[in-house]
Structure 1
Amino acid sequence: MSLINVSNLTFAYDGSYDNIFENVSFQIDTSWKLGFTGRNGRGKTTFLNLLLGKYEYSGHISADIGFEYFPFQVQNKENQTLDIVGEIYPDYVLWELLRELSLLKVSDDVLYRPFDSLSNGEQTKVMLAALFLKENSFLLIDEPTNHLDMEARRLVSDYLNGKSGFILVSHDRAFLDHCVDHILSINKTHIEIQKGSFSDWWENKQRQDNFELGENDRLRKDIKRLTEAAKRTEGWSHQVEKTKNGTKNSGSKVDKGYVGHKAAKMMKRSKSMEQRQQSSIEEKSKLLKNIETSESLKISQLSYHKPQLAELEQVSIYYGKREVCRDVSFTIERGDRIALSGKNGSGKSSIIKLICGEDISYTGTFRRGSQLQISYVSQDTSHLQGNLSDYAREHGIDESLFKAILRKLDFSRLQFEKDMADFSGGQKKKVLIAKSLCEQAHLLIWDEPLNFIDVISRVQIEELLLDYEPTILFVEHDREFCGNIATKVVEL
């Protein structure tokens, strides 16, 4: 066991006025299985890069252990997989590698195939197996679940559960719950570490948020009461002070000493109330700093004139002579929320392309409603560049609504000035989702929309789909999201 010590860490990118981290201090035990969470753009990958020594920073990071980062950058993907493993870890021992692959249910023959011929899931598993051979390193595992199907996620989660000594960045709640024993979270104002699973951390966060909201409400009422009381007391003291000299045409004598004493006493009481009010304001200012805003989102979907939008009957899809999927049958009816499920390579994306109107070779019967308007969210975000205003105009969507949705998904106004090419993976996915929500469509088709998207935004999107009940066909490997959203599951 050893410790990673972070003290007074401060960091900002060149040319930026805003610090990503400011005077952050904490300790990590290298035997922990540490889940790393926080909203998109808060600096999770930046922190991993600081551990790797990629940037200059203020403060101190000390550790008597080396760091290794996942995913490894593979330069020559056409090389044999065994050669790629050699690049990741030149000193590997073959039987140890085979042991790790066996734990991940990967057959030995993948080692003797070109790396680029492996599926995304197989590539992920091979790189994880190679990384965990490095026993004297602390592993920084950055979003390994993207593009993994549910079965692959379960296998990788089981695998990580049997390991220790890593930081795992993931937004998949069920995945994190199964394989971590601590949570490192980047909040609005600080970084904190809690022992337990992701669900433990989430429950604690909600409890703390509810407590602060209650305290905030109590203090707001207290401040209002004190303000009103102070104004009344100050008004009384001025009125009493005026009586010191008596009123005109009054023949009565006034005890000026008594009246002055009484006015001073009232003024003192007013000042005391003012001090208590200020104290309450200061106490209130400490609250709500880490409560994440997650306002509800709003959409208005077009209503299709018929109950049935599309139908597939005994559909088989081919690429050349290769059969991608066989005898797929289901209907999309108004109000359906359909999860298209299946292992990687089972034909989910091909079915989506067919429904979206692409020229796909198929047999069987496919019917699509006339004048059906579809809004599509792709897996790919690499085409995003330029500013958000131009993007909204280019796609004919309401710029104000588009940016309002992004604000609710935790975009700062500063983010609106940046080039989309510089956004994080999660921020780019939010751009595609916000665009889709702005489009006038009868049917939403979302292909793995949650890759890279933070947990709080996932919950917002879940609530949106449950509240507005749009007709949607989606592919998503987040087990909890599918369980909460889907009214039908089509298994390929």
Structure 2
Amino acid sequence: MISITNLSYYLGSRALYENASLHIKPNQKIGLIGLNGTGKSTLLRIINGEYQPDGGIISKAGDVSIGFLNQDLLSYQTDDSILSVAMQAFARQNELQIKIDELLHKMETDYTDDLVDKLGRAQEEFDALDGYTIQSRAEEILEGLGFSTDDLHRPLKLFSGGWRMRVMLAKLLLEKPSLLMLDEPTNHLDLPSIQWVEKYVQNYEGSVIVVSHDREFVDNVVDTIVEVSGAKLNYYAGDYSYYMEEKALRNEIQKGAFENQQAKIRQTERFIERFKAKASKAKQAQSRVKQLERMELVDDVIDSNARVNFKFNFSQQPGRHILHLDDISKAYGEKRILTHSTARLERGDKVALIGANGRGKSTLLRIISGSEPIDGERVLGYNVSFSFYAQHQLESLRVEDSMLDELKQANPTKSDGELRGVLGCFLFSGDDVFKKIKVLSGGEKSRVALAKVLLSQANFLLLDEPTNHLDMQSVNILIQALQQYEGTYVVVSHDRYFVSQIANKIWYIEDEQIKEYPGTYDEYEWWQEERKAQGIGPSKQPADNSKMQPATSPTPTTNGQPTNGKATNGKPSDDERKEWQKTLKNLNRQAQESETKIAQLEERKKWLEVELANPATYGDDKLMQAKNDEYRHVTAQINQLQDEWELAMLEAEEWEKKLA
């Protein structure tokens, strides 16, 4: 569909791309990844024709159409309603609708055969283009992206930049280009909208290229990863999780090849040094010199997974109770956010505040910080000091200061060396630390602001969408930093992978109450699916039920019907006990069979790992691909069998309890 061959593109003397190649196939879903500044957005603009390459060939099939969602669209404003803007995607249908309206108006006074014929042809084409469904399709997509029915007829200019971006995304999806390019599409979406876009892209009939820091979104929508690294485009046939495994494997192989080559070089250099002066060996020594000159060098592996080791020092240790919110109510006019709600934070709580936009998450953060007026009581605990990170606070960075100066302001007790170490953890090295804030990109400013928050010596952190504008490596650094943080924090984020790594409690706002799930995000998601399956929604949830407990293990059944282990007299009958014992025996047998298969597959996996490290294997592309495919297949089988084993053991445990 689109072929890029030997692409070169330079920024001054720096090569963003040098002899890089990429082939985009029909219906392919590509995740374009790489560090900030490596040229991901630039590549999209080259494909879109906005930038001209310095070298190489870009070939496109004649019928290829391209749709490009980028951050520049945030500035678009108009008096037209958001429904009208979205429906601009249907250019031909809109032309025909205007023509049909004009013809119908003329026919009120001039009912000639010519007009009837023109109207018939226009209506026929309009119908063939599904013109009668375009409004309902536009409404469906806009509402899927979080707009209410009442919003659809409001002017676009009344919405914030993030909501305007959603309208432009809706317009793009309605256009259905053969190649859809999405640059950070999740930045301005809440969790329900992200999940909606995820499903839409999964089922999209064209090709897609996604640039996103949201690891789970990328994992769920792509079938190919293209990594921008070293001015090249490196191809991985799989999702992001596969890329991580495959890259580790490739790095291991490359590291071995590099070390072997270095050993050979050292050995050859010692031979040359030893025998170059001897007449009998001079010819051989010269031959070795030429051999070294012709040798194609293997690059050493550059570890892009930065490791963070912060030492957090609190200026004072807080008491056990961090925050009490008692009988809190908050409303904006007729829109009620909270009504007589209560919440508690204890020392060491790591809370993720999640949910759809408009529910009041950022408002709740401001209530916690004390900057939002409320009805009710907010009580901060003993010795609690907090630091607040939000996107608008990037503007508070002093533009004429260097990064180092900004961090000194946050923690004057740290030495320059310690502050440079912190900046190094956030991917700023060497003379970068002396750059002024005004020359930094949005992502770089975010990293500086986050470093300031973490250095602030606060024992309580409030973080509002901290992963926006960060690349995946920077998100990983933030995860590591928060995992090492011994204080308390509340984080608002729509990044599911990030939340799953840093939270031990989940807060959400439902029925104008602050609700809490006392577990991880993965457990919370499972619990929510169970609620949906049982038909439990917000309207059925008691308003005072602010503390939700994890769902319990499933109740044993007989022939698919719950028995709770009891006959009608309150005790199981002999027949029921025999049936239960039979079920328990089958479950134990299934678990044993799974264990045996897992052991066999683990042996095969170890053998494959040895084979993949064998030079004879990685020197043969076809053999390497075959071994890689088998390795992935075996790993997937092991994971599936382990899940089956765990489920069988859990069910067996329940039956054993009933039989006891």
TM-score by length of 1: 0.80
- Where does residue 472 of structure 2 map in the other structure? 455
Letter in 1 for 2:308: S
Residues 299-324 of structure 1 deviation map (CA, whole Å, 9 limit, x = unaligned):
31315241222222232223355422
Aligned to 1:157: 198
- What amino acid is aligned across from residue 349 of structure 1 in structure 2? S
1:98 aligned partner: 136
Unaligned runs of 5+ in 2: 95-130, 510-660
2: CA distance between counterparts of 1:73 and 1:121?
A: 7
After TM superposition, list the pairs within 5 Å mapping 1:198-209 onto structure 2: 198-209=240-251
Distance 2:435 2:65 in 1: 34
| Cα distance in 2 between the residues matched to 1:67 and 1:351 | 41
- How far apart, CA to CA, are the structure 2 residues paired with 1:327 and 1:267? 92
* Aligned-residue offset at 1:126: 3.3
Shift of 1:280: 12
In structure 2, relative to structure 1, the CA distance for the partners of 1:173 and 1:442 (3 Å cut) is same
For the pair 1:357 / 2:379, whether they are aligned, the reply is no
Alignment partner of 1:442 is 2:459: yes
The answer as to 2:24 corresponding to 1:28 is: yes
Structure 1 partner of 2:151: 110
* Contact 1:388/1:416, CA 8 A, preserved across alignment: yes
Deviation at 1:117, TM superposition (A): 4.9
Alignment of 1:53-452 (within 5 A): 53-59=49-55, 60-63=57-60, 64=62, 65-71=64-70, 72-76=73-77, 79-85=80-86, 90-91=91-92, 93=131, 95-102=133-140, 105=144, 108-117=149-158, 123-163=164-204, 164-216=206-258, 226=267, 234=274, 283=297, 285-289=298-302, 291-302=303-314, 303-320=316-333, 322-358=335-371, 360-369=372-381, 372-380=384-392, 381=394, 385-386=399-400, 387-392=402-407, 395=410, 398=414, 400-411=417-428, 413=430, 415-416=432-433, 418-452=435-469
Superposition deviation, residue 200 in structure 1: 1.7
Distance 1:137 1:269, change over 3 A: closer
Contact 1:184 1:193 in 2 (8 A): yes
The question of whether the paired residues in 1 share the 8 Å contact of 2:87 and 2:138 is answered with: no
Contact 2:323–2:346 (CA under 8 A) maintained in structure 1: yes
Q: Which amino acid counterpart does residue 53 of structure 2 have in structure 1?
A: Y
Q: Identify unmatched segments of 5+ residues in structure 1.
A: 242-262
Q: Residues 122-150 of structure 1: CA distance to partner in whole angstroms, max 9, x if unpaired?
A: 64543223112324452221111113222
Aligned counterpart, 2:505: 488
Per the alignment, do residues 61 and 97 of structure 1 end up closer, same or farther by CA in structure 2, a change over 3 Å counting? farther
Pair 270,296 (structure 1): closer, same or farther in 2 beyond 3 Å: farther
**Equivalents in 1 of 2:269, 2:161: separation in Å?**
65
**Residues 293 and 410 of structure 1 are in contact (CA less than 8 Å); yes or no, is this contact kept in structure 2?**
no
Q: 8 Å contact 1:304–1:334 — kept in the other structure?
A: no
Matched residue pairs, number?
Answer: 457
| Residue 8 (structure 1) aligned to one of 6, 25, 28 | 6
Query: How many Å separate the matches in 2 of 1:167 and 1:183?
Result: 10
CA distance in 1, matches of 2:460, 2:270: 58
Question: Is the CA contact (8 Å cut-off) linking 1:146 and 1:451 kept in structure 2?
Answer: yes
Q: Distance in 1 between matches of 2:377 and 2:176?
A: 55
The answer (yes or no) to whether the contact 1:402–1:435 under 8 Å persists in 2 is no
How far does the alpha carbon of each residue in 1:82-104 deviate from its partner, in whole angstroms, 9 at most, with x for none? 33335566445572352254256
Take 1:20 and 1:228, find their aligned partners in 2: how far apart are those partners?
Answer: 35
The letter for the 2-side match of 1:62 is: S
| TM-superposition CA deviations, 1:419-461 (whole Å, max 9, x none) | 5445333222212112222222112211110112122222222
Q: For the Cα contact (< 8 Å) 1:223–1:280, is it kept in 2?
A: no
How far is the alpha carbon of 1:17 from its aligned partner? 3.0
| C-alpha distance 273-472 of structure 1, shift in aligned 2 (>3 A) | farther
Corresponding residue SS for 2:374: strand
Change (3 A) 1:440 1:24: same
Q: C-alpha separation between the residues in 2 aligned to 1:265 and 1:329?
A: 91
In structure 2, C-alpha distance between the alignment counterparts of 1:420 and 1:89, rounded to whole Å: 43
Judge conservation of contact 2:318–2:347 (CA < 8 Å) in 1: no
Alpha-carbon distance change, 75 to 402 in structure 1, aligned in 2, over 3 angstroms: same
RMSD: 3.5
For the 8 Å contact 1:375–1:439, the answer to whether it is kept is yes
Give 1:210 shift. Answer: 3.1
The alignment-based identity, stated in percent, is: 28
**8 A contact 2:212–2:218 mirrored in 1:** yes
- Return the letter of the residue paired with 1:456: Q
Structure 1 counterpart SS, 2:14: coil
Q: More displaced, 267-276 or 20-29?
A: 267-276
SS in 1 for 2:444: helix
Structure 2 letter corresponding to 1:287: D
1:168 partner amino acid? V
Q: Is the 8 A contact 2:90 2:134 kept in 1?
A: no
1:68 corresponds to which letter in structure 2?
G
Q: Is the 8 A contact 1:299 1:437 kept in 2?
A: no
Partner letter of residue 232 of structure 2?
Answer: H
CA distance in 2, matches of 1:301, 1:280: 54
| Cα separation, 1, equivalents of 2:232 and 2:457 | 40
Structure 1 distance, partners of 2:188, 2:74, is 17
> Is 1:18 the counterpart of 2:18 in the alignment?
no
User: How many angstroms does 1:177 deviate by?
Assistant: 1.9
Partner of 1:249: none
Higher helix share: 2
Change (3 A) 1:6 1:383: farther
SS of equivalent residue, structure 1 residue 301: coil
Aligned-residue offset at 1:403:
4.0
Higher relative contact order (CA 8 A, sep 6+): 1
Q: How far apart, in 1, do the equivalents of 2:486 and 2:262 lie?
A: 37
Give distance in 2, aligned partners of 1:357 and 1:331: 15
Check the 8 A contact 1:138/1:165 in 2, yes or no.
yes
Take 1:270 and 1:481, find their aligned partners in 2: how far apart are those partners?
Answer: 57
Cα distance in 2, alignment partners of residues 376 and 322 from structure 1:
26
SS at match of 2:384: coil
CA distances 1:140-185 after superposition (whole Å, capped 9, x unpaired): 2111111322222111101111113221111112111222222222
SS in 1 for 2:21: strand
